[in-house]
Amino acid sequence: MSSEEKVPCEVSSKKVIGLLPCSGACNVGMITTKCVVRIAQKHDNINFVCSLGIPLGIESIVNNARKSEYYAAINGCKVACATKALKSIDMTPDAEIIVTEDIGIKKNKDYSDENGLDMLVSRVESLIKS
C-alpha cells in the first residue's frame, strides 16, 4: 500500500498512535509484531515503536517513542514486556492487550503460527478507535 493510500486511524487524524509490540520469542510475541506491521501499513498516523530499545536507553528510539500522543502496548503474554518497556521511561500505555488473556491464544514456540492474528489486528484497531 502506498503512502497516498494510507488513511488516518479513527482515533484522530491528528493524533500519533504509538504501538509497541512485545516481539517475544514465541508465537504470541511474533503475532504482536505482525499485527503492528499490518496496522502501520494501513494507517498514516501509526508510530511503530521498538519496545526493546526503550529500556536499553537508545536515545533515538526513546525520542521516537515519546513523540506519540496515544500508546497501546501489545503484549504476547502476562510478562507484559511492551508495557514494562514503556514504564521504564515513566510512561504508561493508554491501552494494553495481552494476547494469551485477551485473545485466548495459547503460547507456544512455533514462530510461524499465526493463529489469532486477524483477531488481534481487529482487536487493536477497535481498541485504538475507542
Residue 85 in this model has a pLDDT that exceeds 90: yes
Percentage of the chain lying above the pLDDT 90 cut: 84
Highest mean pLDDT: which of 9-18, 40-49, 72-81, 121-130? 72-81
The reply to whether 1 falls in a domain is no
Answer yes or no: is 8 within a domain: no
Only one residue has cell 510461524, namely 112
**Reduced to 3 DSSP states, what percent helix, strand and coil does the chain have, rounded to the nearest 5?**
40, 15, 45
Residue 6 lies in a domain: no
User: Would 123 be classed as within a structural domain?
Assistant: yes
Domain holding 56, by residue range, is 13-129
Domain tally for the chain? 1
| pLDDT tens digits along 2-43 | 445 565 555 445 589 999 999 999 999 999 999 999 999 999
- Residue 119 counted as domain residue: yes
